[in-house]
Structure 1
Amino acid sequence: MRRARLSRSSIQGEASMPQSPSRAQPRRTVVAGLAAALVAPAIGISVRAQGKQVVVRTGGGGYDEAKRASVYEPFTRETGIEIVLVAANATKMLALARAGSDEIDVYDTNDETLLQISRANGLAPIDYAGFKFTDPADLPAALRQPQYAGHSYFATLLGFNTSRIKPGSEPANWAQFFDVQRFPGARSMPNPSLGEPTLEFALIADGVPMDKLYPLDIERALKKLGTIKKSIVKFWETGALSTQLLVDGEAPLVALWNTRLYEAMGKGAPVAAQWNQNQAALVAFGINRHARNAANAKVFVDYCLSAETQGRWMQGVTAMPANRKAVSKASPTLRDPATGTLWVHSKGFMRDITWWADNRQKVADRWQRWVLE
């Protein structure tokens, strides 16, 4: 049996979640660094001419392990196409796109990074009409973008330490999270200069409805954030740190990714989730405009978005599927029992990636001044 090849390069940044885009390197440094950037994957790619392959950038680690038996190996069995997995953070992906590199066929990353790659003219159109495995109608319209297709959701939500806060007595919304009189104690939130939703949560706490958040009022958000500044022990910059602060009880209340929270929960940590007013974001596929294996890339994306494939992937993982027909296979903990829908649909709001792509540097600059005030 032909197996999916899992050769990888070294991973920079978070491995369990798609990277947020950062500022691109100057082009003169990009081209010089491309060879070094893909030295390890090139070992796996060098035999490409001997058989059908598709080179896929993923987040690596447990993400790939969870998909090996449910997605990668069945794909190779059914199509005869080998999968070569490579690692690259957002900065590297953008650099490769701007340099017109053909080393990666499919980008599997968050939708904001794909928007940035698209703006760099690095993505090919998605041929939904040509899909054979997936019925495009099973994908929400908002996820069927011209140059990328969402395959799953992740969320930033309110996590709490159950050894310090009894379930049912935790803050029920962000206004209560910001109420340090009623809910005293340390907190942690993500560094908003990374594009994480600290500003959104502050605005919700200040009374802004979830469907009226964008464009973000940065100054209003920072003013509200200032009311709990002394209670924030750390504005985290990695998923590992957010989980550690919560599990150790250093910060019994933490805004963090559901993937990290549920990973800790699965290991028996005393943590739980409050899904109300969560922020949802997408992990998606984009096909490199310069892909060497463009036809195989199309087949891979089509296969991975199908209800059958997503249904298999949902078994035993904390992913939230894009395909409507696979939602019933998602873990019950990721579904609202009142509606049967995913929590990101019943109690959440979608991240506005266009606003963040246009304003990320502005937020980062203002944030650097605010932390010193």
Structure 2
Amino acid sequence: MGSQVSRREFLKTTTGALVTAGTVARTRPAAAAGELVIVGWGGAHEESLKKAVYDPFTAATGIKIKQVSATNQLALLKAQVQNNSPEWDIIQPGSAWLWRGAQDGLYEKLDAGVVNRTEMYGPALHSHGIAFEVYAVDIAYNTKRFPTGSHPKSWADLWDLKRFPGRRTGPGWTPRDNFEAAVMAAGVAPAKVYPIDAKLAFAKLADIKPQMTWWQSGAQFAQLFSDEEVQLGYGWGARVVVLAREGKPLAVELNNAILDQTFYAVSKISKNKEAAMKFITFASQTKPQAKRPLLYPHGPTNRAAWGQLDAKTKRDVVNYDLPGVLLRNPEWWMDNEAPLLEQWKKFLAA
């Protein structure tokens, strides 16, 4: 297939994974002339994009944006391409889905010069997509129980049940994130995490398993902290930051954060490819990228946008250049997740 991308090329251009199973929230017909259909993840995530990116884009170009939501975007896009039945113009794949979709010929190769490459962080650039946000799995904590400054500042701290007692939570639906956190807790430096030592990860996770409540969705992760059923844990940090902005006694620790990205990619069968490329150019510029973290705590992929954020905002969002962070390796998980998932299920059941 002419649009296929090698694994080596993918790893040079991006990393991370956002593999989320689910069902369609709502779908709509293909875009009319002068309109782009963008499929996203719904909720506050999409509301913030509408305010920071979509509405300003329409004001600047006259091209309307129609938002739809779906969690199983890759499978639905594949069906659209196979049936030559376009419904979406722009998709929001995570790194793993960008890689898979490029391999399967589901995305249009981006126009040369669609973004100013020097303005973007390197991992955000891929031949079939441009990352518009970087986010993380962070250490989260209750600030009443552990005031900031006296909280766990590393994965090793989070694993220290004596210094930091209390109920914890972590993702139960996947070994991902758990494995990275566990081996870093065992002393493996972020740069040495991959390939992951699975035996070490399972052994380290066994140490905290008795104190763990395993979450199955981002909403449950946030609810466990909101209801104070747990005092410590790890998961999508933006969920906790949103609660903290609402006044909940919560905070996140960005040290050793496990980074991931979300991309904009253009459907291979979009009938509005020129407008879609214009949108990606606009969405990658400094102004919309700097506004978005004020509305939703995901970091920008434009270097200048990060520089425009004030110190308070930077405390809530991650950045590629933060010391001690880990950028996810999607290829390793592509090769290993299926067998490890079976072992993971047995580990939880034991």
Answer yes or no: same fold by TM over 0.5: yes
The superposition leaves residues 60-106 of structure 1 with CA deviations (integer Å, 9 ceiling, x where unpaired) of 2212222223211221122121111111213x432432551421111
Relative to structure 1, is the Cα distance of residues 95 and 359 closer, same or farther in structure 2, using a 3 angstrom cutoff?
farther
Cα pair 1:161 1:246 within 8 Å, conserved: yes
State the number of aligned residues: 331
Distance in 1 (alpha carbons) for counterparts of 2:96 and 2:70: 15
Relative to structure 1, is the Cα distance of residues 253 and 344 closer, same or farther in structure 2, using a 3 angstrom cutoff?
farther
1:86 pairs with 2:30: no
The superposition leaves residues 251-301 of structure 1 with CA deviations (integer Å, 9 ceiling, x where unpaired) of 100102121011000110011111111111101111111112111111111
Taking structure 1 as the reference length, what is the TM-score of the superposition?
Answer: 0.82
Distance in 2 (alpha carbons) for counterparts of 1:261 and 1:366: 29
Relative to structure 1, is the Cα distance of residues 291 and 314 closer, same or farther in structure 2, using a 3 angstrom cutoff?
same
The superposition leaves residues 33-66 of structure 1 with CA deviations (integer Å, 9 ceiling, x where unpaired) of xxx9697412xx47x1xx3111111112212222
Structure 2 portions without partners, runs of 5+: 1-16
Decide which of 167, 183, 198 is 1:218's aligned counterpart: 198
Taking structure 2 as the reference length, what is the TM-score of the superposition?
Answer: 0.87
Relative to structure 1, is the Cα distance of residues 254 and 331 closer, same or farther in structure 2, using a 3 angstrom cutoff?
farther
Name the counterpart of 1:60: 42
1:110 pairs with 2:97: no
Note the aligned Cα RMSD (angstroms). 2.5
Query: What secondary structure is seen at the aligned counterpart in 2 of 1:346?
Result: coil
Q: Tell me whether 68-77 or 261-270 shows the greater mean CA deviation.
A: 68-77
Name the counterpart of 2:178: 198
Q: Provide the identity percentage.
A: 24
Name the counterpart of 1:271: 250
Cα pair 1:320 1:334 within 8 Å, conserved: no
Relative to structure 1, is the Cα distance of residues 114 and 165 closer, same or farther in structure 2, using a 3 angstrom cutoff?
same
Structure 1 portions without partners, runs of 5+: 1-17, 24-35
Distance in 1 (alpha carbons) for counterparts of 2:288 and 2:313: 18
Distance in 1 (alpha carbons) for counterparts of 2:25 and 2:237: 31
Decide which of 169, 180, 186 is 1:188's aligned counterpart: 169
Distance in 2 (alpha carbons) for counterparts of 1:331 and 1:155: 19
| 4+ residue runs over 4 A deviation | 36-40
Report the AA paired with residue 116 of structure 1: R
Name the counterpart of 2:4: none
Report the AA paired with residue 28 of structure 2: P
Name the counterpart of 1:20: 19
Relative to structure 1, is the Cα distance of residues 293 and 155 closer, same or farther in structure 2, using a 3 angstrom cutoff?
same
Report the AA paired with residue 218 of structure 2: G
Report the AA paired with residue 325 of structure 1: A
Name the counterpart of 1:354: 331
Distance in 2 (alpha carbons) for counterparts of 1:116 and 1:318: 27
Decide which of 230, 235, 255 is 2:214's aligned counterpart: 235
Q: Tell me whether 100-109 or 298-307 shows the greater mean CA deviation.
A: 100-109
Query: What secondary structure is seen at the aligned counterpart in 2 of 1:226?
Result: helix
Cα pair 1:319 1:330 within 8 Å, conserved: no
1:127 pairs with 2:135: no
Decide which of 190, 204, 207 is 2:187's aligned counterpart: 207
Structure 1 residue 342: Cα displacement: 3.3
1:141 pairs with 2:122: yes
Distance in 2 (alpha carbons) for counterparts of 1:346 and 1:128: 32
Query: What secondary structure is seen at the aligned counterpart in 1 of 2:126?
Result: coil
Q: Which has the higher contact order (CA 8 A, sep 6+)?
A: 2
Name the counterpart of 2:342: 365
